[in-house]
Amino acid sequence: MFVCLHNTYSAKQVEEFGRIAYGFDVNTVVITKATASAAQTGVPTLQKMAYKLKKNILFFEDLDDAIEVLRPEKVIMIGNKNICEKKLDFKEVGENDLIVFSGVSTGFTQIELEKGLGRYIVENEIGALGNLAIFLYEISRM
């Protein structure tokens, strides 16, 4: 399973996303469409963290590139209830899936949502970091 932070401009968000993922023993973190300080300092900081922990980081220009290279069985887009039609059933998550979290508070665009299955975890907007932590905790319990 790959966890992906998509469309972020925050270096701190990239770093914390990686810290949470690696803390739950995720082997590979994927970052797509990082801009501004996320690309300039966030990704290099995460790369250093990954190297020290003997983990992996993959950095792609856009989500399409990650899908092309990783060839996941499913792409699950974790957003908020306003844009995603169904609540995530954790049993539907497979080992070869790409789980994508939106790095912006507005969530995914309609075009981005068409690339995968739109799902929400909690009814209120808690952001990528909160959703990632809940997601990985629930997956670790299975």
Q: How confident is the model at residue 107 (pLDDT cuts 50, 70, 90)?
A: confident
CA–CA separation, 112 and 133 (whole Å): 22
Q: How confident is the model at residue 121 (pLDDT cuts 50, 70, 90)?
A: very high
Whose tokens are 């306003």? That residue is 82
Structural domains of the chain, count: 1
List b or e across 88-113, with b for residues whose CB sees 16 or more CB atoms inside 10 angstroms: beeeebeeebbbbbbbbeebbeeebb
**Tell me, what CATH number does 100's domain have?**
3.40.1280.10
pLDDT (0 to 100) of residue 123: 87
Closest to 117 (Cα-Cα) out of 69, 85, 70, 71 = 85
Q: Where in the sequence is the domain holding 76, given as residue range(s)?
A: 2-140
Q: How confident is the model at residue 32 (pLDDT cuts 50, 70, 90)?
A: very high
